[in-house]
Structure 1
């Protein structure tokens, strides 16, 4: 069964897409935790951070560069947070690796 993120990639479910290329897709979170809250997902289905292999290094690096580009496009010049939740106990709700880009307010995260 496909995750909700795979359905967004396949355009089966609509999303407010802010960035897309051959490797990743970024869209606004439907329940934002900050004024800017964008999810960046690799198009390759990787369940979680714990499932990464050496073969995924280029994908992860590409996603990080995309995160920086999206942050700049969103005007987050003063800073932002990038969060990855891993596994159910780590707060991951969708079994597809994703990055939360959050900014637009001062963060209390460490």
Structure 2
């Protein structure tokens, strides 16, 4: 059975895509800890970090780094944080988010009441920062599609 993330990647469930390539996609979460909170997800259904082969893990990390730099620029954040938990969806994903301190890096701080317009604006802010950083070829043509 397809995971929630596969359904988002396949377009069965809406997503706010900021990155796409042949191996991974990235989309902003509907429950952000900070504005711009993005999930980097392999297209293949890999359950967890320790199941990923080294090449996939390296690629996920490279994309997370690029997105983290874009977030730092877009929000003038001193750090980009990377969290890997994976308990909520059995499909490997990396949480990348602009960060100002360690205390704010708790899933207890996730906001589930953010209006759709604000989620769209945050996703577009990440997308623009990626374009500005020279990654336009990996920014999907539409916020709602993982297609380039």
TM range (shorter): 0.7 to 0.9
- Deviating above 3 A after TM superposition, structure 1's stretches of 4 or more consecutive aligned residues are none
Question: Measured at CA, do residues 24 and 6 of structure 1 come closer, stay the same or move farther in structure 2, by a change above 3 Å?
Answer: same
CA contact (8 A) 2:77 2:100 kept: no
C-alpha separation between the residues in 1 aligned to 2:96 and 2:59? 15
- Tell me the residue number matched to 1:71: 68
More helix by share: 2
CA contact (8 A) 1:67 1:101 kept: yes
Residue correspondences, number? 101
| TM-score, with structure 1 as normaliser | 0.82
Structure 1 residue ranges without an equivalent (≥5): 87-91
Instruction: Pick the aligned partner of 2:91 from 75, 92, 96.
Output: 96
- Tell me the residue number matched to 2:14: 14
**1:17-56 mapped onto 2 (5 Å cutoff):** 17-52=17-52, 56=53
More strand by share: 1
- Tell me the residue number matched to 2:81: 81
* Worse-superposed segment, 99-108 or 38-47: 99-108
CA contact (8 A) 2:69 2:80 kept: no
| TM-aligned CA deviation for residue 83 of structure 1 | 0.6
Aligned alpha-carbon RMSD (Å): 1.6
Structure 2 residue ranges without an equivalent (≥5): 106-148
Question: Measured at CA, do residues 104 and 36 of structure 1 come closer, stay the same or move farther in structure 2, by a change above 3 Å?
Answer: farther
| TM-score, with structure 2 as normaliser | 0.63
CA contact (8 A) 1:39 1:99 kept: yes
Question: Measured at CA, do residues 73 and 80 of structure 1 come closer, stay the same or move farther in structure 2, by a change above 3 Å?
Answer: closer
CA contact (8 A) 1:35 1:104 kept: no
